[in-house]
Structure 1
Amino acid sequence: MEFNGKNVLITGASRGIGKATALAFAEKGAKVGINFRSNTEEAERTLSQLAGTGHQLFQQDVSEKNGPEHLINRYVAQYGQLDILVNNAGISIFHDIEEVDFDHWANAWENIFNTNLFAVSNLCYWGAKAMMASGGGKIVNVSSRGAFRGEPTKPAYGASKAALNSMSQSLAKKLAKHNIHVGVVAPGFTETAMAAETLTPLERENLLRESPFQRMAQPEEVAHAILFLASEGAGYSSGTIIDVNGASYLRS
Structure 2
Amino acid sequence: MSEITPTSARRMAGKSCIVTGAASGIGRAIARRLAAEGAFVLVADITEQPIEGGLPTLAAIEAEGGEARFVHCDVSRTEQVDALVAEAVRCQGRLDVLVNNACIRHARPLAELEDADWQRLLDINLGGAFRASRAAVRQMRTQPVVDEVRGRIVNLSSQHGLIAAPGDLGYGVTKAGIGYMTRQVAADYAAEQIACNAVAPGKIQTGQGGRALDPVVMERAIRRTPWPRLGRPEDVAEAVLFLASAEARFITGAELMVDGGWMAA
TM-score by length of 2: 0.87
Provide structure 2 residue ranges, at least 5 long, that are not aligned to the other structure. 1-9, 145-149
Q: CA deviation at 1:54?
A: 3.2
Q: CA deviation at 1:214?
A: 4.0
> Kindly tell me: are residues 214 and 44 of structure 1, through their superposed partners in 2, closer, same or farther at Cα, counting changes over 3 Å?
closer
The structure in which a higher percent of residues are helix is 1
- Is 1:49 the counterpart of 2:60? The answer is yes
SS of 2:38's equivalent in the other structure is coil
* Alpha-carbon distance in 1 for matches of 2:170, 2:210: 21
> Kindly tell me: are residues 49 and 189 of structure 1, through their superposed partners in 2, closer, same or farther at Cα, counting changes over 3 Å?
same
- Paired residue total: 246
* Alpha-carbon distance in 2 for matches of 1:132, 1:141: 18
TM-score by length of 1: 0.91
Query: What per-residue deviation string (whole Å, max 9, x for no partner) do you get for residues 76-132 of structure 1?
Result: 22222111100000111021235x2xxx43222211111111111111010111111
- Is 1:90 the counterpart of 2:103? The answer is yes
Please point out which of 6, 22, 25 is paired with 2:34: 25
Percent identity, aligned pairs only, is 30
- Is 1:227 the counterpart of 2:229? The answer is no
User: 4+ residue stretches of structure 1 with deviation over 6 A?
Assistant: 41-44
After superposition, residues 42-121 of structure 1 pair within 5 angstroms as 45-50=56-61, 51-98=64-111, 100=112, 104-121=113-130
For 2:241, give the aligned amino acid: L
**Map of 1:171 onto structure 2:** 185
Q: CA deviation at 1:242?
A: 0.2
Residues 140 and 182 in structure 1, CA contact (< 8 A), matched pair in contact too: yes
Provide structure 1 residue ranges, at least 5 long, that are not aligned to the other structure. none
Quote the RMSD (CA, aligned, Å): 1.9
**Map of 1:15 onto structure 2:** 24
Residues 21 and 101 in structure 2, CA contact (< 8 A), matched pair in contact too: yes
Deviates more, 1:48-57 or 1:82-91: 48-57
* Alpha-carbon distance in 1 for matches of 2:204, 2:139: 31
Q: CA deviation at 1:164?
A: 0.9
* Alpha-carbon distance in 2 for matches of 1:52, 1:13: 18
